Amino acid sequence: MSCATWQPQPLLLERRVHQQEPKVSVFKSKLKKSVTCSVPRIRSTVTGFFPVMRWLPKYKVRDYICGDVMSGLIVGIILVPQAIAYCLLAGVEPIYGLYTSFYANIIYFLMGTSRHVSVGIFSLMSLMVGQVVYKEMFLAGFDLSEDSQASGPDGFNGSNSMNLTAGHLHSVELMGLQCSKECYAISIATALTFMAGIYQVLMAVFRLGFVSVYLSAPMLDGFATGASFTILTVQVKYLLGLKIPRHQGYGTVIITWINVLANIHKTNLCDLITSVICISILVAGKEIQERYKDRLKIPLPTELVVVAGATLASHFGELNSHYGSSVSGHIPTGFIPPQVPNFSLMSHVALDALPLAVISFAFTVSLSEMFAKKNGYTVRANQEMLAIGFCNIIPSFFHCFTTSAALAKTMVKDSTGCQTQVSSLVSALVVLLILLFFAPFFYALQKCVLACIIIDVPAKWRDSKNDAIVWLVAMSATALISVELGLVIGVVFSMSCVIFKTQKPKVSLLGRVNDTDIYDDVDEYANLALPARVQVIRFQAPLYYANKDTFLKSIYKIVGVEPFLEMTKRKKAEKKAKEMSQRRAKASGDNNNGDVVIGLVQGELEFHTIVLDCSAMPFIDSTGMATFKVLVKEYKEIGVRVILASCNTSVIDTLQKGQFFGKNDEDMSSLLFPAVHAAVLHANSTCAAVRLEDSVV
């Protein structure tokens, strides 16, 4: 009798029996609960939709007001030059950046659940909006190399449009009126923003926030870095004062640099000198900020200093008239009457709005959760999706473009004592002051200065090789092909890496830690003792159709015995021994047919049991279950038993459904153990009992 003969062992663990309610009853219960109307339910729904109603009545003025006002003022001061500058990326007039910052801060104050996130203008969103705006303007026949002429915010005014037409400037008909270049640009941007907001609200309604889990941190870092290279490339023409059109389609970075180099002789020296000075000041400011961040109580307003100084220099030096330097132009005060986004344009931008919606809510939710964890409170991810959705839908009626949470401004709020979203209200008031009184003072601000403010190329690299490759692919695709395709390629490649990891997982031989019941990887830890005549193996991945072959090959390699080859080897040895026995018997005249030698060929293996540690195996599919069956059957044929240990309930359920443990789970006690050590002890004790029985016989 071999060690493969096992005696059943009583179960140490007993599964609970879960009574599942009928699905119809569950559905009726949920439906009844959802349609029940009561005063507490209405109050809960309203306060849930507007979280400000929950925390504002409990606002601790003495404890919070100083930090909120300080952080709100600082972020507002930073926000103003960025709001004007990022409009260069978005392809719209500077006033619309101020509108966007104002409305987004107010809406998030009412609807957001994060205390620290700063929602508003974000360079990446502005770049993606600008790509769509310039593409649609190109398709509409506008000359993208034209300087901003135009109507600005009054582009929807009928009389102004008539003058543009008379001046032989290209225009298109929109909502029954002739629309100029700037008018068409903001119409595209608002339609795009409205669609992105609708997508985000639908994602919140249908609980599709899980989509963001496919945007891994390295992929997002690579995507943001690639976008930063694109942003740098797009701004180069402003830094050098070149008037070249913005490239449409794939390969923006490469083609733009070719155009820049071809026109480098046309560089405006005034813009170049200004750019060098501004970049030097900004870099120096960041270095000082980083070096003395422990001593500085508030961030240095370097961007505001640069904008103010450059505006004064441009105004009094008359750089536009004397040296032909491009300036921001007139920025009007006040607000434009709200207008419904153009529905005829939405079909043009419906597909483009999808990546904007996903990236916008992914950044917002991830930043909200990150700073909530850091500061010891919780946020509601679904409400965050609703909040950012309405931060896009509502402002789209007020000539705004797509917004998102911004990391840099959020970090500033966190480091300057922000306690609640009252700080966003303060930031909105700062922007309001600019809109009402100070906007015209930015007329002489050079575009090259705005380009300097935009440029920020982060250097991201990870310790993990896999993460580094994901980062590199996402960055390269975004920079060299396009932002939209870069996102798609980054997501697909990141997911492919995960699949590859599960296809080529680590398979470890385990040893025992001293005299404990702990087993771990012998390749990773020293002084581990291999259990006598038992091979303990851990497969660190789910077992499914894509990696079943890897699983089997790894087991064969570690134990050093492949059942089929072992059986073939034994059959050959038996055949050879039998033939030799028969020849000897014939020579000696013995009638023995040689069968006695068959038993001598067996029992050559150094182990009698394989224990599979399934603790790192989250799930298996039907193919994985079938693979287990094959493994048990093949090794049983050569006298080796395969047993499982530390399986989670998901794996056990799959095995039971596939009758791995036999009919009515009759073999479960001999095939499944709650821990590795229990399986090893049982294997050795059973085999010892078998040997004792054999010796007695």
SS3 string of 548-570?
Answer: HHHHHHHHHHHHCCCHHHHHHHH
- Res 226: pLDDT: 74
Distance CA 366, CA 375 (A): 14
- Res 164: pLDDT: 39
Please compute, for residue 56, the number of CA atoms within 13 A of its CA located in the half-sphere on the CB side. 13
pLDDT digits (tens, 9 = 90+) for 53-108: 999 999 999 889 998 998 899 888 888 888 888 888 888 988 999 999 999 999 99
Could you tell me the CA-to-CA distances from 144 to 139, 141, 181 in Å, in that order? 11, 9, 9
Distance CA 68, CA 420 (A): 7
Could you tell me the CA-to-CA distances from 213 to 359, 362, 363, 603 in Å, in that order? 12, 9, 11, 52
Which pair of structure tokens corresponds to residue 264? 């480098």
- Res 314: pLDDT: 87
Strands 641-645 and 404-405: unpaired
- Res 479: pLDDT: 74
In sequence order, which residues have a C-beta less than 8 Å from that of residue 282 and are 6 or more positions away? 302, 303, 306, 452, 453
Identify the three-state secondary structure at position 606.
coil
Identify the three-state secondary structure at position 208.
coil
Closest CA to 597 of 587, 611, 585, 586: 585
- Res 437: pLDDT: 87
- Res 99: pLDDT: 94
Structure-derived torsion over alpha carbons of residues 672, 678, 683, 688, reported in degrees to the nearest 10? -150
Low-confidence ranges of the chain (pLDDT < 50): 1, 5-6, 8, 10-11, 146, 148-167, 457-463, 594, 597-601, 696-697
- Res 100: pLDDT: 94
pLDDT digits (tens, 9 = 90+) for 415-427: 888 899 999 999 9
Distance CA 135, CA 142 (A): 10
- Res 325: pLDDT: 83
Which pair of structure tokens corresponds to residue 113? 């659940």
Interior angle at CA 316, CA 311 and CA 147, nearest 5: 60
Closest CA to 74 of 273, 309, 303: 303
Strands 172-174 and 609-613: unpaired
- Res 195: pLDDT: 95
- Inter-residue contact 644 to 680 (CB < 8 Å): no
